[in-house]
């Protein structure tokens, strides 16, 4: 099953030390899709973040190699919402505003619960 991954989803391992791919597989997902808009957001954040977020961003950048990049330009949040509808795939994000927006559109959301596991809603 496919799952779309947001920027902060890729940053989770660097912030909390969990293996998101193991957790996503536990939930039944085996295709990890990252829109090019998310990849571009990660690249643009390199110049803006500091401290722990910078380390988490470095981890996120390295994890991109384990994901399939799909061509989709625009705002990362808009692209995730559009693709979530088009391919009927949940989105892995911890962004509370995006989570609300996706849920209002009927798109399933995967998020981190209790700093050690992922949950789907």
Give the start-to-end residue ranges of the domains of the chain: 2-120
User: What pLDDT, in 10s, does the model give residues 57-102?
Assistant: 899 999 999 999 999 999 999 999 999 999 999 999 999 999 999 9
pLDDT at 65: 94
- pTM, whole model, 2 decimals? 0.93
pLDDT at 16: 78
Instruction: State the DSSP string of 38-61.
Output: HHHHHHHHTTT--HHHHHHHHHHH
Contact in structure between 36 and 71 (CB atoms under 8 Å): yes
User: What pLDDT, in 10s, does the model give residues 11-63?
Assistant: 887 677 889 999 999 999 999 999 999 999 999 998 888 888 888 889 999 99
pLDDT at 54: 86
Q: Does domain 2-120 sit in CATH 2.60.120.620?
A: no
pLDDT at 9: 92
SS3 content of the chain, % helix, strand, coil (to 5): 50, 20, 30
pLDDT at 76: 97
């Amino acid at each position: 099953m496919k799952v779309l991954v947001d920027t902060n989803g890729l940053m989770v391992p660097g912030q909390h030390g969990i293996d998101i791919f193991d957790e996503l597989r536990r939930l039944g997902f085996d295709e990890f899709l990252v829109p090019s808009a998310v990849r571009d957001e990660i690249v643009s954040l390199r110049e803006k973040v500091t401290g722990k977020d910078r380390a988490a961003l470095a981890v996120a950048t390295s994890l991109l190699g384990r994901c399939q990049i799909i061509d989709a330009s625009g705002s990362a949040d808009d692209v995730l919402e559009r693709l979530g509808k088009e391919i009927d795939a949940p989105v892995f994000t911890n962004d509370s505003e995006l989570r609300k927006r996706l849920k209002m559109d009927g798109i399933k959301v995967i998020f981190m619960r209790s700093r050690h596991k992922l949950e789907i809603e």
